[in-house]
Chains A and B, each alone.
Chain A
Amino acid sequence: MVKVLHLKLVRELYRSKGLLLLISSIIAVGVTCFVAMQSAYHNLNEAKKRYYCQCRMADFWIDLKKAPLSELRGLHEIPGITELHTRIQFQATVDLEDFVEPVNGMVLSLPDRRQQVINGVVIRQGDYFTDRRRNEVIISEKFARTHNLYPGSSVHLLLNNRRQELFVVGTAIGSEFTYLVGPGSLVPDAVHFGVFYVKRSFAEEVFDFEGAANQIVGRLAPDARDRVDEVLRSAEARLDSYGVFATTPLRRQLSNQFLSSEIDGLGAIATVIPAIFLAVAALVLNILINRMARRQRVVVGTLKALGYTDQPIFLHFLCYGLSVGVLGGVLGSGLGYLSSTGMTYVYQFYFEFPDLRSGFYWYTHAVGVSVSLLCAILGSVHGSRAMLRMRPAEAMRPEPPRRGGVTGLERLLGSAWKQLSAIWRMALRSLFRHQFRTATGVFAAMMGSGLLVTGFMMTEAQNFLLDFQFHREARSDIDLVFKDEQGPEALAEVRRLPGVDHAEPLLTVACTFVNGPYRRKSGVTGLQSDARLTVPRNEAGEPILVPQAGLVMTRRLAKILHVTAGSKVTLIPVKGERRPVDVVVARVADSYMGLAAYSNIEYLSQLVGESLAVSGAQLLTNRRPDNLSRLYRELKQLPGVQSIQSRRDMIESLTETLLMNQYVLIGVLVIFSGVIFFASIVNASLVNLAERQREVATFRALGYSQWQIGGMFLRESLLTNLVGSLLGLPVGYGLTCLTSMLYDTDIIRLPVVAANWVWLTTMSTAVVFALLAHGVVQWSILRMDYLEALKVNE
């Protein structure tokens, strides 16, 4: 391209800097999303790979009641298994002197001497076990820090009905607890849950597990990883007599599921959201470049008259778009890197890695900038080429007026059209005659509104989930788990505790469900007939009465087993006589967490061949703080209690975390959609205004005020915005459904909930953005030189 045209380009870019910046901002947001999420994806993925390698993450877990080590070693014979490690694992209550609320811990054994094991730990403070004491403990880092525990301090745990003092030698993290959540919770809570690694010899002694183990972790050969389920079935068959509670492949391991879902979610969102922004940017840029090219018809004709070929002229106009693409791409790339650093920092609060760091992935940035340029080219090529098709003489003639005549809308409205004022008729005709511009505005508003709806519906989904799971389905204040099954007298004792207003028994039986070729290990929870602390519910939230016989099965479990209400399923309990029993699925309940099944407690007891047994209790408490403190103290002293979970504390912590996430999510989505609304409306309105300067000046000469003139343009932009926003409501609903599918796992499902406030808030926000954007247009009208526009100058 020749040099003087470069100068022209630079000056005109500077003159149009406002509009070009606006469009660049749409591109920048899209590229920022892409780079931020892809970079965060790579950060997490790389950290995960390193961590899993460092700790030698297991490929499977097998939980069982108790098995001798000699039997467990035999599992090596199963093809595919390359390595095994046996562990002793129990839940325990942590007795902290200066902390009244119940705190739970998972106690896990590690070899007495440091060696390479599967699911090893990374020591963060202090050191591994020594030979000095039998009762040394290594505590999970965040828990230790929260409770001011450090090497040299001591902590008391209730292990096997005995209060044991443990001496802290170190703090650590482990890859199998990258996302460390306590039972029944969704978010990490270092206040109420931690992991305690003890010496194997100590665990054997304290839990009466000499020469035995109740958990096996193993690794598979690379070619066996695809058939892990088959391997686990073989292992389960061998260990059947030892009461296998659960077999868990890596993909279903709790921490790995949360981490992998997050990583996969990032990858998916990194494609969808940027695509929306870049599509809008390309369309909006197309309008601008078309307008620019039309305004420079005479210049184009003159350049052609001077002897310029098509190529430099085409490239000249293409460069307008490319400059927007470059600016948007570079801005987005930089902001994306900063955002990914921020996201990675925030992830550290949820996922514990030894070295989660923010990296610069040049290929991600290159793709982001390239896509940005491609979007800019797509947006500019049409306007640029249109100029080349004209003959020079035609280009230098004034642009012929657009086609006139009656629009389709006028015919449609018929006599109703005549009722409209001239101003409204002008606005509607303008919209219908500039079809591409109107369609672009509608599309942009649709996308902006869709994003808002998605954000609001996600918030509503989280609130609904919280309410459904934690206030309607499970309604207790405290959940107790007993170490062993107790009789009804244990419940009576619990009911007598200070501060307990109401207590209900629970019997949890781990089992395997079988329906033909479909199997799943899960559990059945037995409830009393008139239970009101665990209440299965249907989709509408109505309570489902647990029948005297049969199961109430949650929908996801029923889907996995391919059963419906009325079907029979075979239940093979892990405890008791372990006889397969056919049971009827009486009802299917809805639930958004886990794979639960419920039955009457007496019925369940009979199924497993026992008299009435109780494995836990749910309590409603008196909420007075001093009563609670007494109750917690008493519970910690109660023999036979393995864990105490304060659901109220857990729900408070969860609510706080979710609320914070919601504010961030909504804030980000409102900003994103604001960029789309604002940029597209301002661009279209200013282009419209530039084309109609003489018309606007004429209205001024006729006596219209600047605000009345502004009102003419406001009608057009509001109409476009409202139509697009309305269309965006179902788009947002669809996007939410897609997002819900991403978070559809055995652990958690996000419901799709449509509430009236979502639609109202979206439309209100769209109107606010339209008014804000119109402010820019009104300001241009106020500043316009009307004499110049009318060319009345001497």
Chain B
Amino acid sequence: MRAPSEAPNATLLKMENVGRTFRMGEVAVEVLKGVSMEIVAGEVLAVVGPSGSGKSTILNIIGGLDSPSMGQVWYRGRDLTRASSGELTRYRRDEIGFVFQFYNLVPNLTARENVLVSTEISTNPLDVDHVLEMVGLTDRVDHFPAQLSGGEQQRVAIARAVAKNPTLLLCDEPTGALDFVTGKRVLRVLVDLNQQLDKTVVLITHNSALAQVADRVIHLRSGAIAEITEIEEPIAPEEVVW
């Protein structure tokens, strides 16, 4: 059982009828169509769907990296769709931790320095070395990304996201570039962060097997929510098979 830092089952974020259309020259592509969903504090939420279903777009909107073309998004009662660029920046800085599919580490910074990049602008960061220890990289803190394996790089990226002490951890295909064994190891880290640090984790994946570690799964198809399922007993990352 999880002990959420927020009040149990409190709604952290709510999306109402959110749509997103991209213009590419003369062509308009409607990536999201009237999506309505909630994120509950302390949960692990998986958003699953095939490639092009709008998963990453939802994550970007939740994280304040992108704005919807229609609809509204509230975070703790604040309307994010009306927020200014500065307010969204502060939102990302203080509330959100991102983990990207291809890690997005800064090539010219060591593992430790990549984590410091996020803590130096945070108001209440966690201890960098402690976080790196949590993700099992104590021995690799002075290595550059080019000297780390894919799994290690992803763990650095997770450490960077968590060290800011965000409320919400958003993970875009965190195991997408990793092999089977490494991917499960990364999943374990995410689940541990949820359990030990009460981080609300949103996990985007095309791999429905991974969704079994979540508390709830939102199924996306062609930019709309096809189904929302609740998982009574999420399985341990080690037991996931794909």
Give the docked Cα–Cα distance between A393 and B64 (Å). 9
Instruction: Name A307's contact: one of B67, B89, B113 (CB within 8 Å).
Output: B89
In the assembled complex, A301 has its CB within 8 A of some CB on chain B: yes
CB < 8 Å neighbour of A308 from B57, B63, B89: B89
In the bound complex, do residue A8 and residue B109 qualify as a contact, i.e. CB atoms below 8 Å apart? yes
Taking a contact as CB atoms under 8 Å apart, the answer to whether A393 and B60 are in contact is yes
**Are B66 and A306 in contact (CB-based, < 8 A)?**
no
Q: Which residue of B lies closest to A11 (CB)?
A: B108
A302 on interface, CB distance cutoff 8 Å? yes
Q: Are A4 and B117 in touch, CB under 8 angstroms?
A: yes
Of B44-52, B90-98, B187-195, which binds chain A?
A: B90-98
Complex interface: chain B residues within 8 A of A15 (CB):
108
Beta-carbon contacts under 8 Å, A467-506 to B = none
Most chain-B CB neighbours within 10 Å: which of A299, A301, A307?
Answer: A307
In the assembled complex, B86 has its CB within 8 A of some CB on chain A: yes
Task: Select B109's contact among A7, A309, A393, beta carbons within 8 Å.
Answer: A7
Which residues on B are within 8 Å of A, measured CB to CB? 24, 57, 60, 63, 65-67, 85-86, 89-90, 92-94, 96, 98, 100, 102, 104, 106, 108-109, 113, 116-118, 120-122, 160, 164
Across the interface, which residues of A come within 8 angstroms of B116, CB to CB?
A: 3-4
Inter-chain CA distance A310–B90, complex, in Å, is 12
Instruction: Establish whether residues A4 and B113, one from each chain, have CB atoms under 8 Å apart when the complex forms.
Output: yes
Report which of A5, A8, A305, A309 forms a contact with B63, defined as CB distance below 8 A: A305
Contact A302 B100, beta carbon cutoff 8 Å: yes
B108 contact set on A, CB distance < 8 A: 7-8, 11-12, 15
CB pair A304–B65 under 8 Å, yes or no, is yes
**In the complex, residue of chain B having the shortest beta-carbon distance to the beta carbon of A303:** B117
Q: Is the CB of A7 within 8 A of B63?
A: no
What are 30 A-B interface contacts by the 8 Å CB criterion?
A2-B121, A3-B116, A4-B113, A4-B117, A4-B120, A5-B117, A7-B108, A7-B109, A8-B109, A11-B109, A12-B108, A15-B108, A298-B104, A301-B65, A302-B104, A302-B106, A303-B117, A305-B63, A306-B121, A307-B89, A307-B94, A307-B96, A308-B89, A308-B121, A309-B86, A391-B65, A392-B92, A393-B66, A394-B66, A396-B65
Query: Please, how many angstroms separate the alpha-carbon atoms of A307 and B60 in the complex?
Result: 14
Write out the residue numbers on chain A whose beta carbons fall within 8 Å of the beta carbon of B122: 307
User: 6 closest pairs, A vs B, by CB?
Assistant: A307-B93, A393-B66, A392-B65, A11-B108, A393-B65, A393-B60
Chain A contact residues: over half helix, strand or loop, or mixed? helix
Q: Nearest Cβ distance between residue A794 and chain B, in whole angstroms?
A: 12
A314 CB, nearest partner CB in chain B, Å = 13
Produce 1/0 per residue, A335-366, CB < 8 A to B: 00000000000000000000000000000000
From the candidates A12, A306, A310, A393, name the one contacting B117 in the complex (CB within 8 A). Answer: A306
Assess the A305–B65 pair: CB atoms within 8 A.
yes
Q: Is the CB of B117 within 8 A of A307?
A: no
Q: Shortest Cβ distance from B98 into chain A, in angstroms?
A: 5
Q: Are A306 and B113 in contact (CB under 8 A)?
A: no
Chain A residue nearest to B108 in the complex (CB): A11
Which residues of the other chain, A, contact B66 by a CB distance below 8 angstroms? 391-394
Q: Bound complex: CA of A393 vs CA of B113, how far in Å? A: 23
| Bound-state Cα–Cα, A315 to B121, Å | 16
CB <8 Å contact, B93 and A7: no
Nearest CB on B from A401, distance (A): 11
- Cα separation A308 to B109 with both chains bound (whole Å): 17
Q: How far is the CA of A3 from the CA of B121 in the complex (A)?
A: 10
Proximity string of chain A (3-26) to chain B, C-beta cutoff 8 Å, 1 when within and 0 when not:
111011001100100000000000
Give me 7 other A-B pairs in contact (C-beta within 8 A), A307-B93, A308-B93 excluded.
Answer: A5-B117, A7-B109, A11-B109, A306-B98, A306-B118, A307-B118, A391-B65
Chain A residues, CB < 8 A from B92: 304-307, 392
Instruction: Report how far A309 CA is from B118 CA in the complex, Å.
Output: 12
How far apart are A423's CB and chain B's nearest CB, in angstroms?
Answer: 29
- Residues of B within 8 Å of A393, CB to CB, are 57, 60, 65-66
Residues on A with beta carbons closer than 8 Å to the beta carbon of B60: 392-393
A392-B65, A393-B65 given; A306·B160 CB < 8 A: yes
* Smallest CB separation, A783 vs chain B (Å): 17
A8 partner residues in chain B, CB cutoff 8 A: 106, 108-109
Contact B98–A305 (Cβ < 8 Å):
yes
Question: Chain B: which residue is nearest A12 at the CB level?
Answer: B108
Q: Which residue of B lies closest to A394 (CB)?
A: B66
Query: How far is A11 from B118 in the complex, measured between Cα atoms in Å?
Result: 19
Cα separation A549 to B164 with both chains bound (whole Å): 101
Nearest A-chain residue to B114, judged by Cβ: A4
Residues of B within 8 A of A396 (CB): 65, 100, 104
Closest to A8 in B: B108
A431 CB to closest chain B CB (Å) equals 24
Question: How far apart are A670's CB and chain B's nearest CB, in angstroms?
Answer: 38
Min CB gap B96→A, angstroms: 8
Q: How far is the CA of A306 from the CA of B165 in the complex (A)?
A: 12
Q: How far is the CA of A196 from the CA of B32 in the complex (A)?
A: 99
CA–CA, A7 to B98, complex, Å? Answer: 22
Q: How far is the CA of A391 from the CA of B116 in the complex (A)?
A: 23
In the complex the two chains form, is A2's CB within 8 Å of B89's CB?
no
Chain A residue with Cβ nearest B61: A393
Task: Identify the interface centre among B63, B89, B96: most chain A CB within 10 Å of its CB.
Answer: B89
Min CB distance B68 to A, Å, is 12
Within the complex, what minimum Cβ distance (angstroms) separates A236 from chain B? 78
Cα(A298)–Cα(B65), bound, Å: 13
Residue contact B104 to A299, C-beta cutoff 8 Å = yes
Distance in Å from the Cβ of B134 to the closest Cβ of chain A? 19
Q: Which residue of A lies closest to B117 (CB)?
A: A4
- Is there an interface contact between B90 and A307, defined as CB atoms closer than 8 Å? yes
Nearest opposing residue in chain A for B172, CB measure: A396
Q: Which of A291-319 contact B (CB under 8 A)?
A: 298-299, 301-310
Q: Is B113 within 8 A of A7, CB to CB?
A: yes
A303, A305, A393 interface centre (most CB from chain B within 10 Å):
A305
Q: How far is the CA of A303 from the CA of B160 in the complex (A)?
A: 11
In the bound assembly, the distance between CA atoms of A394 and B121 in angstroms comes to: 22
Cβ–Cβ contact A304 & B100, under 8 A: no
Which residues does chain B contribute within 8 Å of A302, judged by CB atoms? 98, 100, 104, 106
Q: Tell me which residues from 358 to 407 in chain A have a Cβ below 8 Å from any Cβ of chain B.
A: 391-394, 396, 400
User: Residues of A contacting B24 with CB < 8 Å?
Assistant: 400
Known contacts A3-B120, A5-B117, A7-B109, A309 near B100 by CB under 8 Å = no
Q: How far is the CB of A454 from chain B (nearest CB, A)?
A: 43
- Complexed CA–CA distance, A391 and B66 (Å): 7
B160 partner residues in chain A, CB cutoff 8 A: 306
Shortest CB-to-CB span from B177 to chain A, Å, is 12
Return A646 CB to nearest CB of chain B, in Å: 71
With a cutoff of 8 Å between Cβ atoms, the chain A residues found around residue B106 in the complex are 8, 299, 302
> Is A2 within 8 A of B120, CB to CB?
yes
Q: Please indicate which of the listed interface residues B86, B108, B122 has the most CB atoms of chain A within 10 Å of its own CB.
A: B108
CB < 8 Å neighbour of A301 from B86, B89, B104: B104
Question: In the docked arrangement, what's the CA distance between A307 and B92, Å?
Answer: 5
Give Cα distance in the complex from A12 to B113, angstroms.
15
Nearest B-chain residue to A299, judged by Cβ: B106
Closest to A388 in B: B85
Q: How far is the CB of A395 from chain B (nearest CB, A)?
A: 9
Bound-state CA distance A11–B108 (Å) is: 6
List residues of chain A with CB within 8 A of the CB of B104. Answer: 298-299, 301-302, 305, 396
How far is B122's CA from A400's CA once the two chains are assembled, in angstroms?
32
Query: How far does the Cβ of A241 sit from chain B's closest Cβ, in whole Å?
Result: 89
Q: How far is the CA of A513 from the CA of B223 in the complex (A)?
A: 96
Contacts of B118 in A (CB 8 A): 306-307
The chain A residue with its CB closest to the CB of B122 is: A307
Residues in A with CB closer than 8 Å to B85 are: 310
Kindly list chain A residues whose C-beta atoms are within 8 Å of the C-beta of B57.
393
Report A-chain residues with C-beta under 8 Å of the C-beta of B65.
Answer: 301, 304-305, 391-393, 396
**Please, how many angstroms separate the alpha-carbon atoms of A391 and B85 in the complex?**
10
| Among B57, B92, B106, residue most surrounded by chain A Cβ atoms (within 10 Å) | B106
Q: Are B121 and A307 in contact (CB under 8 A)?
A: yes
How far apart are the CA atoms of A667 and B98 in the complex, in Å? 58
Bound-complex Cα distance A546 to B220 (A): 103
- Closest A residue to B60 using CB positions: A393
